[in-house]
Structure 1
Amino acid sequence: MAIGKRIRFFRNRKGMTQKQLGEILGFLGKTSDVRMAQYESEARTPKQDLVKEMAHILDVSPRAITVPEIDSYIGLMHTLFALEDMYGLKIGEIDGEVCLRLDKSTGSTYSTMFDMFHAWQEQAARLERGEITKEEYDQWRYKYPECESKHTKPSIGKSLKS
């Protein structure tokens, strides 16, 4: 999903107008909603420091705003191909169903990604069992890995270098 759509999604999730978000970010008067409309329409792209500030205001991780391009099925497929190349994500079949799995032969990448996927699966199971609300589940996802900081393994970049 493109950055503009993510900004709009999280702004709406917070119940904010473009003008409100723009003013909190420091854009004055009429320029506040115009600037936010430009970001959401992708006529302009916010710099990384502004993305971080937006994320703080919207109470999400900056990474939740800057996800890869997945607005089309083709874009999603190429994102999956990149994950296969970079992290050993494999496609397979179990009981006639297509599935994605981690490749154990990738060593520390497998271990790190397994821990991350397992944390995600645990939260999804808690939601399914009714132990947490959809809002709590979404908050966990959109602030990840902040909410996992006590249990987080080294960053992927560090894990891949070792």
Structure 2
Amino acid sequence: MRLAQYETGSRKPKSDLTAALAQALDVAPQALDVPDIDSEIGLMHTLFTLEDIYGLTISEADGEICLKVNKDKGRNAYDLLKMLFAWKEQADKLAAGETSREEYDRWRYYYPQFDTTQHWVKVPSKELSDALVKAFKDKL
């Protein structure tokens, strides 16, 4: 029961239990916790998770570290790549003076509300979906 609560996030194990589990699994305790991205270690574990889920890769170009998304990793990776391109587009506009810092921050803080590069749709309710299926059933 308690393990299921840990898995769903409704409970968090105490630090001594996390340390014991980490030792048994031969991983860092931070690998078993929701990362705190306000710390460098937590941010690193977030990046490791992005590597696992989205195919994030690390490389070097011109003496600087670069992070890349492998779009062939799957649909999630492809969607993340599209979102990152939208962010890059806004950052480029800021750098070129085509948008103000306030507009750029507004775009970031309300993302994806002001993202014009992608088409975000609201998923209809189950009731509306059922009504549409019923109404157009004879035409399907």
- State the TM-score, normalized to the length of structure 1: 0.48
Query: How has the CA–CA distance of structure 1 residues 134 and 147 changed in structure 2, closer, same or farther, with 3 Å as cutoff?
Result: same
Q: In structure 2, which of residues 62, 79, 88 is the aligned counterpart of residue 121 of structure 1?
A: 88
In the alignment, the residues of structure 1 paired with residue 117 and residue 63 of structure 2 have an alpha-carbon distance, to the nearest angstrom, of: 38
- Highest relative contact order (Cα 8 Å, sep 6+), 1 or 2? 1
Residues 145, 152 of structure 1: 8 Å contact kept? no
Alpha-carbon distance in structure 2 between the residues aligned to 1:76 and 1:70: 4
| RMSD (CA atoms) | 2.3
- The residue type paired with residue 148 of structure 1 is D
The secondary structure found in structure 1 opposite 2:60 is: strand
The aligned counterpart of 2:68 is: 101
Decide whether aligned partners of structure 1 residues 102 and 150 sit closer, same or farther in structure 2, where only a CA change above 3 A counts.
closer
**Rg larger for:** 2
Distance in structure 1 (CA, Å) of the matches to 2:119 and 2:42? 29
Provide, for residues 78-99 of structure 1, a one-character-per-residue CA deviation record: whole Å limited to 9, x for no partner.
1111111121111111223211
Give the aligned partner of residue 71 of structure 1.
Answer: 38
- Give the Cα–Cα distance (whole angstroms) in 1 for the partners of residues 64 and 46 of structure 2: 21
Distance 1:150 1:89, change over 3 A: closer
| Structure 2 gap segments, 5+ residues each | 1-34, 122-140
**1:143 aligned onto 2:95:** no
Report what 1:131 is aligned to: 98
Equivalent residues of 1:112, 1:153 under 8 A apart = no
In structure 1, the residue matched to 2:17 is none
- The count of aligned residue pairs is 88
Change (3 A) 1:90 1:113: same
Structure 1, unaligned runs of 5 or more:
1-67, 155-162
Q: 1:86 to 1:153 in 2, by over 3 A?
A: farther
1:81 aligns with 2:48: yes
Q: Deviations over 1:8-56 (max 9, x none)?
A: xxxxxxxxxxxxxxxxxxxxxxxxxxxxxxxxxxxxxxxxxxxxxxxxx
Once the two structures are TM-superposed, the CA of residue 150 in structure 1 deviates from its matched residue by 7.2
Instruction: Give the Cα separation in 2 of the matches to 1:85 and 1:150.
Output: 26
CA spacing shift, 1:118–1:135, aligned 2, 3 Å: same
